[in-house]
A and B are shown apart, each in its own frame.
Chain A
Amino acid sequence: QLQLQESGPGLVKPSETLSLTCTVSGGSISSKNYYWGWIRQPPGKGLEWIGAVHYDGRNYFNPSLKSRVTISVDTSKNQFSLKLSSVTAADTAAFYCARLGLWFRDIDPWGQGTLVTVSS
């Protein structure tokens, strides 16, 4: 059974870079049929797609975040990571990592999510 688990700091200072890692267990991240992505949910708001990466390095981003986002894959560790630069309080959110099907047709499974607060 494939499982994903987010890890990283729960508190980040404004203007700094938010860094999260997703560890995949129960299956390989090196599958040509899937992408690995990040979704966030600010408190009291809806879900927002951040971006996704394929194990071969292809990546796709939400246009509104593209200039600040990096998503990378480490196949040796079966992990993928998110970096969001120049964060502000508006970036405070629960961050979820997940597996996405081709054409992002489905998102399953999801990690449990991790809350990241941007505050000095």
Chain B
Amino acid sequence: QSALTQPASVSGSPGQSITISCTGTSSDVGGYNYVSWYQHHPGKAPKLMIYDVSNRPSGVSNRFSGSKSGNMASLTISGLQAEDEADYYCSSYTGRSTLVFGGGTKLTVL
């Protein structure tokens, strides 16, 4: 199975908004509403930020939001803060009862 496609890097200034895309196929992202997003600070455990395309777990800031259109999902972070600087990964359930991750996006807060 091929990894979902994410931009290698994105950047933004404090207070700005950024969007990270996650492109798959009709067999994964486009076929199911089981897309999730993870924040990963190096050396720490990844943290769930969004599940089921657009749902936020308890405790996750409402500055994080998710959406999907066709075979592409997106994570938007508004009001960027220094602590948002991390790697972000999307994942999707696939039609073959497997899970596939995106390649990851490094977010830099300028």
Residue positions of A touching B, CB distance < 8 A: 37, 39, 46-49, 52, 60-64, 96, 100-101, 103-113
Additional pairs, 5, CB under 8 Å, beyond known A47-B91, A104-B93, A104-B98: A47-B40, A103-B34, A103-B93, A105-B34, A112-B45
* Cβ contacts under 8 Å, A47 to chain B: 38, 40, 46, 89, 91, 101, 104
- Chain B residue contacts of A105, Cβ below 8 A: 34, 36, 51-52, 93
Across-interface contacts of A107 in B (CB, < 8 A): 36, 38, 46, 48, 91
Chain B, 26-60, CB within 8 A of any chain A CB: 32, 34, 36, 38, 40, 44-48, 51-52, 57
Contact of A48 with B101 at beta-carbon distance under 8 Å, contacts A104-B93, A105-B34, A105-B36 already known: yes
- In the complex, the chain B residue whose C-beta lies closest to that of A47 is B101
With A64-B1, A105-B93, A107-B36 in contact, do A49 and B46 touch (Cβ < 8 Å)? no
Chain A residues whose C-beta falls within 8 Å of the C-beta of B40 in the assembled complex: 47
B24: Cβ under 8 A from any A Cβ: no
Please pick, from A46, A63, A103, the residue contacting B3 in the complex, using a CB distance under 8 A: A46
Interface contact A104-B34, CB-CB below 8 Å: yes
When C-beta atoms are compared, the residue in chain B nearest to A49 turns out to be B99
Return 8 A-B CB contacts under 8 Å, by A number.
Answer: A39-B101, A46-B89, A46-B101, A49-B91, A61-B98, A63-B98, A104-B93, A105-B52
